[in-house]
Amino acid sequence: MLKETNVSLLSLVVPFLNERDTVQQFAAFGAKLKAEVKQRHQLDLELVLVDDGSRDDSIERYSAALEGEWRIVELSRNFGKEIALFAGIEESRGDYVMMVDADLQHPYDVCLEMIDALMADPQLDVVYTIRDDRRDESMRKAVLGEMFYWLINARQRFNIPPNAGDFRIMRRSAVDALLKVRDKRRFNKGLYAWLGFRQKAIHYTPDERVAGATKWSKLALLTLSLEGITSFTAIPLRIASIFGLLVGLGGIIYGLHIIVTALLYGADVPGYPSLMSAITVLGGFNLALLGLLGEYIWVAVGEVKDRPLYLVRRLHHSDKKENNG
């Protein structure tokens, strides 16, 4: 983090997975930003890229195209964007750390706006962005999104802002705080909010990808949402317990009713429909509950195993030597 001069350093942390087609544009983006932050804020810029298990020649292309000071942390396989970002942040040395995607969906002007905002106010620790457009998203997805944020935000001491992503700039104090959080399952959006600090939001509309396709499948999004829920709220468990209690109470009352009726008027032939419906309702509910419990236990198991968050295969850097990581 400390440099010989007292010029401050800005680290640009960029995770990538098979982004060979966006390399040239990204290198140009980096070079332009480097010149501009130097001129505007006397900041040096270092690029810290993380190869999240790419199967193409992205690394070679970046090595050839990037200018100035850069490092590429090559992970041993695909660990997912959230963990790749963590690896990059750990590798970064900047007094400020900014995270952007490799596909240039994060507009250059918004990057500058964030840097300006942070530089202008010494009281601010973090400037983050809120994605504004829901153009290409269906109603159903928007409604699910609302429900999701309601659920993870209910009764928390901190609020997770909807549509705020990893695209943000943080002061070193906040970065170090984030590095202290050793959660294995990393739901970044939640962690950023959990940190606290003085944060400011900027609204923006993402650009189209310059090339390639999104790496998020529906299943990956669902998994991420579940991670958000299981690592930030116990409300589903609580709802399930309360519901279970109510159903149990109902069962007891109904049972008493049968016993009393039998004592007063003699035994009835038990009704097949009511029996069957009770079995299916309770059985189904039990299974759902078990699945839910399983989700939480799975998270707990992951934390207990205490494996490293990620493994580095190699560290590549701008003076063309290669270290074994």
Question: Mind giving me the DSSP string for 8-27?
Answer: -EEEEEEEESS-GGGHHHHH
Nearest approach in angstroms of CB 81 to ligand UDP is 4
Query: Which positions lie near ligand UDP, rule CB under 6 A?
Result: 15-17, 19, 52, 78, 80-81, 84, 101-103, 105, 214-216
Closer residue to Mg ion, CB minimum distance, 4 or 208: 208
The H or E element containing residue 48 is strand 44-51
Closer residue to ligand UDP, CB minimum distance, 188 or 230: 188
Distance CA 43, CA 34 (A): 8
Closer residue to ligand UDP, CB minimum distance, 13 or 178: 13
Distance CA 24, CA 212 (A): 13
Nearest approach in angstroms of CB 206 to ligand UDP is 7
User: Reduced to 3 states, what is the DSSP secondary structure of residue 283?
Assistant: helix
Nearest approach in angstroms of CB 192 to Mg ion is 19
Question: Mind giving me the DSSP string for 250-296?
Answer: HHHHHHHHHHHHHHHH-PPPPPHHHHHHHHHHHHHHHHHHHHHHHHH
CA distances (Å), 163 to each of 132, 183, 283, in order? 8, 22, 37
Residue 24 binds to Mg ion (criterion: CB under 5 A): no
Asked whether 185 and 227 are in contact (CB, 8 A), the reply is yes
Distance CA 234, CA 237 (A): 5
Asked whether 49 and 70 are in contact (CB, 8 A), the reply is yes
Site string for Mg ion, 77-116 (x = CB under 5 A): ------------------------x-x-x-----------
Nearest approach in angstroms of CB 52 to ligand UDP is 4
Nearest approach in angstroms of CB 65 to ligand UDP is 15
Closer residue to ligand UDP, CB minimum distance, 34 or 81: 81
- The gap from C-alpha 193 to its chain's centroid, in whole angstroms, comes to 11
81 binds, among ligand UDP, Mg ion, none (CB under 5 to 8 A by kind): ligand UDP
24 binds, among ligand UDP, Mg ion, none (CB under 5 to 8 A by kind): none
Nearest approach in angstroms of CB 4 to ligand UDP is 32
Q: How many CB atoms lie within 10 A of CB 110?
A: 18
Nearest approach in angstroms of CB 154 to ligand UDP is 26
168 binds, among ligand UDP, Mg ion, none (CB under 5 to 8 A by kind): none
User: Reduced to 3 states, what is the DSSP secondary structure of residue 317?
Assistant: strand
Closer residue to Mg ion, CB minimum distance, 151 or 211: 211
Residues that bind Mg ion (CB under 5 A): 101, 103, 105
